[in-house]
Amino acid sequence: MPSSRRLPARKGRAPRKQTKRFDPRVFLANIAVGGTVVHYRPKQAIFSQGDRADAVFYIQEGRVKFTVLSKQGKEATIALLGPADFIGEACLASDQPLRLATARAITECLILKMDRELMLRTLHKEQRLADVFIGYMVERHNRTQADLVDQLFNSSEKRLARALLLLSRFGKKDHLEEVIPSVNQETLAEMVGTTRQRVNYFMNKFRKLGFIDYKSGLGLQVNSSLLSVVLHE
């Protein structure tokens, strides 16, 4: 039986400390940061298109719909956002004094509001938060480009499948299934760029194939198998 022995510890070298991972949710939830946590009810506006752009919002709990209204009065859904997402961050740019879109709560929401000047000071002071924020902005930019490519080249069925996977935050969580609360087919049609009838047809198809399921009182469950629709040529 092979013997084992413990090697003597090296002198003069302190044990390596494990660095604690920075969690922006914990940092921003700290009231000492200076923000204000606001509770929003479903359908309540967080800010509206044309309002002064003077604050950044950070979603702690709940879902938010981001929409834009054309001069002809037609509303389009740009994105559905959830916990750990920022809203209204464009106000940090000096050339945007007014909101270009509307943010409205879909579910009960807890959202941290930080004045523009406070957010800028915090980003300059806390490098770790600045790194997370820049990474978030780059990801949002890449998402916008991918959305444009999706609209130009993919079928409405693929666009719907991709939208559902994005809403379920596929790839960002350890588990393979996620429930999306309170998202109606009209909103999905606006996001995908098709009619509600087409969305209804594809949703029924996805359900029969086991890609999605409806949970009573909870919302829509999206299974990872839905990815096959996006990858299918």
State whether 28 and 56 are in the same domain.
yes
State whether 129 and 197 are in the same domain.
no
Helix (H) or strand (E) holding 162: helix 156-167
Of the residues 131, 150, 169, the one at which a domain ends: 150
State whether 31 and 144 are in the same domain.
yes
**Residue at 118 is within a domain:** yes
Of the residues 102, 127, 150, the one at which a domain ends: 150
CB atoms within 10 A of CB 197: 10
Of the residues 93, 119, 150, the one at which a domain ends: 150
Domain encompassing residue 66: 24-150
pLDDT by position in tens, the chain (length 233): 444 444 444 455 555 555 577 888 888 877 556 788 999 999 999 999 999 999 999 999 999 999 999 888 888 888 889 998 999 999 998 778 999 999 999 989 999 999 999 999 999 999 999 999 999 999 988 988 888 888 888 899 999 999 998 888 765 554 445 667 668 898 899 889 899 999 999 999 999 999 999 876 667 888 888 988 988 75
Strand order in the sheet with 86-87: 36-40, 109-115, 55-61, 86-87
State whether 121 and 180 are in the same domain.
no
Helix (H) or strand (E) holding 45: strand 45-47
State whether 130 and 61 are in the same domain.
yes
**Cα angle vertex 207, ends 203, 210, to 5°?**
140
pTM for this predicted structure: 0.74
